[in-house]
Structure 1
Amino acid sequence: MENYLKNLSDKYNVPVPRYTSYPTTPYWDNQTFSEKAWKDTVKLSFDESNRGSGISLYIHLPFCENLCTYCGCNTRITKNHKVEEPYIAAVLKEWALYHDVLQDAPVIREIHLGGGTPTFFSAQNLHKLIDGILDGAHIHEKAEFSFEAHPANTTVDHLQTLYDLGFRRLSLGIQDFDPKVQFIINRQQTFEQVLAVTLEARRIGYSSVNYDLIYGLPQQHLDGLINTMNIVGSLKPDRIAFYSYAHVPWIKPGQRRFTEADLPTPELKGKLHNAGRSLLTSFGYQEIGMDHFALPGDELLEAALTGELHRNFMGYTQQHTQLLIGLGVSSISDSWYGFAQNVKTVEEYLAITAAGEFPLMKGHLLSEEDLVLRRHILNIMCKGATSWKGQEGQTALIEGLPRLEEMENDGLVQLHPDGLKVTPQGKRFLRNICFCLDARLWAAQPKAQLFSMAI
């Protein structure tokens, strides 16, 4: 079995998207996109879904005091905390623009604060931000509010303030406890800091604590990862995201602090992946979708077991809203019928919102074919199966099915006339399976590498 999995990993370790959307952002057709068309799709989606499922909000808070060199997120490095209040004012101006489009009180089902480092902001300013977001809105009875936090700067005041505002989930970026790895990726936090935040969050009443862990980091070795996993196992976070380091220095120059020579070999990276998965299973965690694990009783696992798991630009979530509005620099919104991304620099974002305009940079309006393929890719990523009964005449499906035959021969999927099912061995190759149905990518193969490696 070990050689079988290694051979598959070697074969399918190719650059493929992570499929938080379909089409993926490099394949958006910005030529047909316009602000008016985007607002029309937002209004349509809102009218269809607000009174039932409500809407989701993602708020990007880009500031960090230090650059983590592994990070692929849109960040602004500064120690000047005077940037907080002008940025919050801009986010609230953008939200007011969306209020004008919605023309009715939004029902907030989800809020996620991402970054950057949301806990860069003071607890007082986060309070001001959330108060402004909730003003004139209703909170859904099943609302889920969450935020990302740095163990080294998250205070009791942060935890208590956000809890009082309705937040019940937080995610701590751990990555690795090995001091050598922490040094080269410039992401340093101690076990004591992680323990303190975890215990304080539980004392206050948070229902879910997630740890982010990465395999394939520079100078990472097997003994160090096993030690990290054993520490994590002793702390028992409710959820764990254990995912592959995405080496994209052509996109994120900070990754040039180290070279490919510092990265684990493909063989070692495979061993890191297998060891981490095995240890998490031995600690009682169950695998969810791709790269995610949770303990029995966690809501994300329950959603996976009941078929309610959803995936969007925030990752996996236990509930589905049709409309996701992204606020802040570089944020991506999803109306189901279209996507839109904001400008990527803080200066542009502040100037455009100050002028009372939407800070949109690009977008995509989904075609009928896009909508069909999007549903299948979402089903594969969330449910490990999909059905195309009644859609057999779809050209994109007809073209994509032969690409799946080799994966069936390799034991990764089971094909039947009406659909497919991912096998247990195929779970770690979800990106590759979805890639077979990615009509836009197959129609325009990239000349340069756009995506991170699959394994």
Structure 2
Amino acid sequence: MTRVLPRVATELLQRYDVPGPRYTSYPTADRFVEAFTGEDYARALRLRRATATALPLSVYVHIPFCESLCYYCACNKIITKRHERGAAYLQYLEREMALHSAQLGVGRAVSQLHLGGGSPTFLSDGELAQLMVLLRRHFNLAPGGEYAIEVDPRTVDAERLAALAALGFNRLSFGVQDFDADVQKAVHRVQPAQQVFDLVAEARRLGFDSINTDLIYGLPRQTPTSFARTLEQVVELRPDRIALYAYAHLPERFKPQRRILNADLPSGAAKLAMLSQALEALMGAGYVYVGMDHFALPNDALAVAKRQGRLHRNFQGYSTQPDCDLIGLGVSAIGRIGPTYSQNAKTLEAYCDMIDQGQLPVVRGLALGRDDLVRRAVIMAIMCQGAVQFESIELAYLVDFRATFATELLALQPLVEAGMVTVDATSIQVTATGWFFVRAVAMVFDRYLQADQNRARFSRII
């Protein structure tokens, strides 16, 4: 399987390496509308409160602050060295939680918590402890849940890792991106490899259930040779999970990327070579290719979920948790409750202003229609299981699959001929080759995308 992509890439890349959504949701966030308001969101929360059989929640908390700017970053962040801003932000998070509890009720079970950013470790140990107290005051963090935090290696030491473990976090994600010194300088994120190795060793000693590292290929001054060295170091580091992202250079959308010179970026052929190297190196070292940009050791919960067909996908990527509702807290955070999506205000000023007015800080979202729900089920089955069983969709949504998706089944034929999918009387199956282009398979069923010719706002598939 490690050699599938290098063999087919030359004939498929030009056709299918196109901009496309990552499908952390369907419809995708670019389809959210301002007509969906905080009151619509509150109504969805109240409806969930009345549903006695609701599954445990997932909660995402966005901490937007960073001390320094990484030039590649496309996240919603605030660059500041004023750490007192963290304390003020926590006060608003507490008020936002209270607004949720007023609609949803206090003590709803949570089985998955993720702190992202920005840099959550911008907050002090005391502030993180305060945040966990607030979360436990409004929610019931279930025993055995997945409680994860994104960690900037430059902001923590062994003592801070011990504090995170004591607070109940059992999963860490270290932002590595690349170990090469020239690449680190080019993206304004210098962190010695030994620092990361020491932190991962300490995290293992402390007993964290799963340790993830993020890598990016396609960064300025990266070459296949330099990235091969980084891959060797990552294999030696041996984290439980690896997220391997393709850098999407969209300077017209993300101002920090304007500091990156186009001349420093690797060519498309070099990016493909780096992806090929990564697939061979990581799977050759025993990692399971979970899908798209995720790898995991065979005994990691993510790889186990993939084998057992229990993989799910939410706004944080692949997940082992059931397809549950998601509460998004903080600036720009996205949530999902029942057949709705919502997003908070994207600026700190607007977010705080809405909370000061006693309003849930939702500025846009979407209430899904019947067609959206059916297509979401199909797209998530493709993205997570690599297969769609027609009967399961027909029973769940009372549709005739072949009649409903006649146009899409016809549009799949080029992918069938390319060896990316197989289609028979009862199902669609993504092949080993197709897994590397799974977004292209899912895009066929995206009604909004097929009607939209402006796809440049998305990252490329490869």
For the aligned pair, the TM-score class normalised by the smaller chain equals over 0.9
Deviation at 1:9, TM superposition (A): 1.6
Are 2:424 and 1:416 aligned?
yes
Aligned CA RMSD, in angstroms, stands at: 1.6
- Describe the superposition over 1:25-48 as per-residue Cα deviations: whole angstroms up to 9, x where unpaired: 1223443x2332222223334544
Provide the rounded CA distance (Å) in 1 between the counterparts of 2:329 and 2:133. 15
Extract unaligned runs of 5+ from structure 1.
none
Q: Secondary structure of the residue that 1:138 maps to in structure 2?
A: strand
Taking a change above 3 Å as real, the CA distance of residues 360 and 239 of structure 1, as seen in their structure-2 partners, is same
Deviation at 1:394, TM superposition (A): 7.7
Deviation at 1:287, TM superposition (A): 0.5
Are 2:234 and 1:232 aligned?
yes
The residue number in structure 1 matching 2:461 is 454
The residue number in structure 2 matching 1:55 is 57
Q: Secondary structure of the residue that 2:43 maps to in structure 1?
A: helix
CA contact (8 A) 2:177 2:214 kept: yes
CA contact (8 A) 1:58 1:112 kept: yes
Deviation at 1:188, TM superposition (A): 1.3
Are 2:396 and 1:407 aligned?
no
Q: Which moved more, 1:97-106 or 1:68-77?
A: 97-106
- 1:138-153 alignment runs, 5 A limit: 138-153=140-155
Are 2:100 and 1:98 aligned?
yes
- Partner residue of 1:77 out of 76, 79, 91: 79
Deviation at 1:316, TM superposition (A): 1.1
Taking a change above 3 Å as real, the CA distance of residues 35 and 86 of structure 1, as seen in their structure-2 partners, is same
Taking a change above 3 Å as real, the CA distance of residues 373 and 220 of structure 1, as seen in their structure-2 partners, is same
Q: Which moved more, 1:77-86 or 1:155-164?
A: 155-164
Deviation at 1:395, TM superposition (A): 6.9
CA contact (8 A) 1:46 1:55 kept: no
The alignment-based identity, stated in percent, is 38
CA contact (8 A) 1:45 1:322 kept: no
CA contact (8 A) 2:251 2:257 kept: yes
- Describe the superposition over 1:286-327 as per-residue Cα deviations: whole angstroms up to 9, x where unpaired: 100211111121011111111111110011111124210000
Structure 1 runs of 4+ with >3 Å offset: 45-49, 393-396
* TM-score normalized by the length of structure 1: 0.96
Are 2:265 and 1:258 aligned?
no
* TM-score normalized by the length of structure 2: 0.94
Are 2:448 and 1:440 aligned?
yes
The residue number in structure 2 matching 1:12 is 16
- Partner residue of 2:311 out of 302, 309, 312: 309
- Describe the superposition over 1:62-121 as per-residue Cα deviations: whole angstroms up to 9, x where unpaired: 100111011110000001101010101111111110001112421111110000001111
Q: Which moved more, 1:286-295 or 1:315-324?
A: 315-324
CA contact (8 A) 2:41 2:362 kept: no
- Partner residue of 1:187 out of 182, 186, 189: 189
CA contact (8 A) 1:340 1:363 kept: yes
The residue number in structure 2 matching 1:397 is 405
Are 2:299 and 1:297 aligned?
yes
CA contact (8 A) 2:390 2:401 kept: no
Residue type of the alignment partner of 2:384:
C
Residue type of the alignment partner of 1:407:
L
Q: Which moved more, 1:256-265 or 1:305-314?
A: 256-265
Provide the rounded CA distance (Å) in 2 between the counterparts of 1:76 and 1:170. 22
CA contact (8 A) 1:401 1:437 kept: no
Q: Secondary structure of the residue that 1:167 maps to in structure 2?
A: coil
Residue type of the alignment partner of 1:422:
V
Residue type of the alignment partner of 1:207:
D
Are 2:122 and 1:115 aligned?
no
Are 2:26 and 1:26 aligned?
no
Deviation at 1:159, TM superposition (A): 1.6
- Describe the superposition over 1:155-207 as per-residue Cα deviations: whole angstroms up to 9, x where unpaired: 33432222122111000010101111111111111112101211111111111
